[in-house]
Structure 1
Amino acid sequence: MKKALIAVLACGSLLATSTPALAHTTQAPKAALGPYGYGKVKLGMSAKKTKATGRVVLKMPVGEGTCSGWDLKAYPTGKNSVGLYISKRRGVAVIFAPKGVRTPEGIGIGSTMKQIKKAYPGLKTAASGFPYVSVPGNPTAYYAFFASKQGEIEELSLGLDTQDCVN
């Protein structure tokens, strides 16, 4: 009986060490926001290619403007907001971080300005007053941060330097 028990434990141990992914199949890790997009949705991608990912849903057609508003299917936004903008000329221009999603440097909704300054020492302030920084690893993009009066991030976006959708 002891030999059979040892063999079962050895096999169980071998199985656990040789296939660690089996223990984590209940929840896939969230993709990071940046440096080139979020998951399969990439900065600069055309509306047609973005739609083909199956990850987005049109929320606000272009109309007379230059950009259409979309939501990430997994993270629908409220009535008067969108999760990303797609420019007619630039493609995916701005992606807003859903709650719980972080940058590769660990910054997300709820992070403090102190944490942001530590993660991004090159932080600057735009003429409009919001903090922004060039995205590490992508010289054509920026992160913009919108903080509450308490200094916690309420909104975070990843955008193309050349985006033509938001101020």
Structure 2
Amino acid sequence: MNHRTSRPALAIAALATGVALLATATPAAAGTAARAAAEAATAAPKGTFGPYGYGGVRLGMTAKQAKATGKIVLKWRDHCSGWDYKAHRNPRDEIGLYISARRGVAVIFAPKGVRTPRGIGTGATLRQVRKAYPGVKEEVSGWYATAPGNPKAYYYFGVNRRGKVEALALGLKNQDCVN
């Protein structure tokens, strides 16, 4: 598998900004401000990976919804279509995220340099992963932990022989795209 601002703090700041704008804006501008505040509250902070998605694309979004974000580009189509983030293009043989025909956005691979809300990214040690995610369990294909804050999702940590994370993914527990 290839591939710090807290969500509550961001949501509170966005809500406060929206309320302040609503109090001083015209009715037409108020609707725009409210929509902007709502979008800011639901989007993952820049650089934070999970627990619901990354870069404006959320787990469970349909392909149509995810494409409408303007953040992704199709690489190939099948039962699970392969996509890349426009800002984080992968080599031809690698995929940035998978979208299932049945479940929507099913698996998102972390682009280089992004971290989970608990500070884990590629290059982290297995020891750091275990400390950040005490419930992490080893399986045949890597290490898995439920994504704190989203019981329907997991983090995948691909750990190399030197005990370092070389791949990080966020996926739906019921995804049907990868093993």
Fold shared, TM-score > 0.5 on shorter chain: yes
The aligned counterpart of 1:103 is 116
Is the 8 Å Cα contact of residues 51 and 150 (structure 2) preserved in structure 1? Answer: yes
The aligned counterpart of 1:56 is 72
2:86 aligned residue (57, 65, 73): 73
CA distance in 2, matches of 1:92, 1:129: 21
The one-letter code of the counterpart of 1:155 is: A
Deviations 1:1-54 (A, max 9, x none): xxxxxxxxxxxxxxxxxxxxxxxxxxxx73311010002100000000000000
Q: CA deviation at 1:129?
A: 4.3
Q: CA deviation at 1:148?
A: 1.3
Deviations 1:44-77 (A, max 9, x none): 0000000000000000111xxx200000011000
In the alignment of these two chains, the number of paired residues is 135
TM-score (norm 1): 0.79
The one-letter code of the counterpart of 1:143 is: Y
Counterpart check, 1:165 vs 2:177: yes
Q: Specify the SS of the correspondent of 1:131.
A: strand
2:61 aligned residue (39, 42, 45): 45
Query: Percent identity of the aligned residues?
Result: 60
Counterpart check, 1:86 vs 2:99: yes
TM-score (norm 2): 0.73
CA RMSD of aligned residues (A): 1.0
Deviations 1:103-149 (A, max 9, x none): 000000111101000000011122x2411000000000000111111
Counterpart check, 1:34 vs 2:46: no
Q: Specify the SS of the correspondent of 1:114.
A: helix
The aligned counterpart of 1:18 is none
CA distance in 1, matches of 2:52, 2:117: 11
CA distance in 2, matches of 1:89, 1:106: 31
The one-letter code of the counterpart of 2:150 is: N
1 or 2, which has the higher helix percentage? 2
Structure 1 runs not aligned, ≥5 long: 1-28
